[in-house]
Chain A
Amino acid sequence: MSVDKKIVADLVNNKVEFVTTVPCKQLAGVIDEIEKCPDIYHIPSNKEDEGMGLCAGAFMGGKRPAIIMQNTAIGVTINTLVTLTQFYRMPLPMLISYRGEVGEPVACQVEMAVHTKALLAQLNIPTYHFHHEDDVNELDGILAHAFMSNKPVAILTDASFWKGY
Chain B
Amino acid sequence: MIRSDVLKSLIPVISDHLVVCNIGLPSQEMHMLDDQPNNFYMLGTMGLASSIGLGVALAQSEKVIAIDGDGSVLTNFGTLPTIANNVADNFILLIIDNGSYGSTGDQPTYAGMKTSLAAVATACGCETVIECQAEDAAETVQAALDSDKMTIIVCKCQSGNIKVPVIQMDPVVIRDRFMKEIQARNG
Contact = CB atoms under 8 A, between A and B. Distances in A.
Interface stretch (A6-14, A57-65, A103-111, A112-120): A57-65
Interface stretch (B133-141, B149-157, B159-167, B172-180): B172-180
A3 B76 CA distance: 33
A18 interface: yes
B45 A53 contact: yes
A18 B58 contact: yes
Contact of B44 (A43, A45, A59, A83): A83
A122 B51 CA distance: 26
B59 A58 contact: yes
Contact of A88 (B58, B82, B174): B174
Contacts of A57: 20, 51-59
Contact of B48 (A65, A80, A89, A90): A80
Contacts of B53: 57
B147 interface: no
Given A53-B55, A60-B178, A79 B44 contact: yes
A43 B58 contact: yes
Nearest to B60: A61
A87 B20 contact: no
Contact of A61 (B48, B79, B82, B182): B182
Given A61-B182, A90-B175, A55 B44 contact: no
Interface in A76-94: 79-80, 82-84, 87-90
B55 A58 contact: yes
Main secondary structure of the interface of B (DSSP, over half): helix
A53 B82 CA distance: 12
A80 B78 contact: no
Contacts of B48: 49-50, 52-53, 56, 80, 84
Contacts of B82: 43-46, 50, 54
A83 B51 CA distance: 15
B51 A58 contact: no
Interface in A19-65: 41, 43-47, 49-63, 65
Contacts of B183: 62
B60 A62 contact: yes
Contacts of B172: 88-89
| Residue from the set A51, A65, A87 with the largest chain B CB neighbour count within 10 Å | A87
B45 A79 contact: yes
A53 B51 contact: yes
Contacts of A52: 48, 51
B81 interface: yes
Contacts of A41: 58
B106 to A, nearest CB: 23
| Residue from the set B175, B178, B182, B183 with the largest chain A CB neighbour count within 10 Å | B175
A121 to B, nearest CB: 22
Given A53-B48, A83-B43, A46 B59 contact: no
Interface of B: 20, 40, 42-45, 47-60, 76, 78-79, 81-82, 86, 171-172, 174-175, 178-179, 182-183, 186
12 contacts: A18-B58, A46-B78, A46-B79, A49-B45, A50-B47, A51-B51, A53-B45, A54-B52, A54-B58, A54-B82, A80-B48, A88-B174
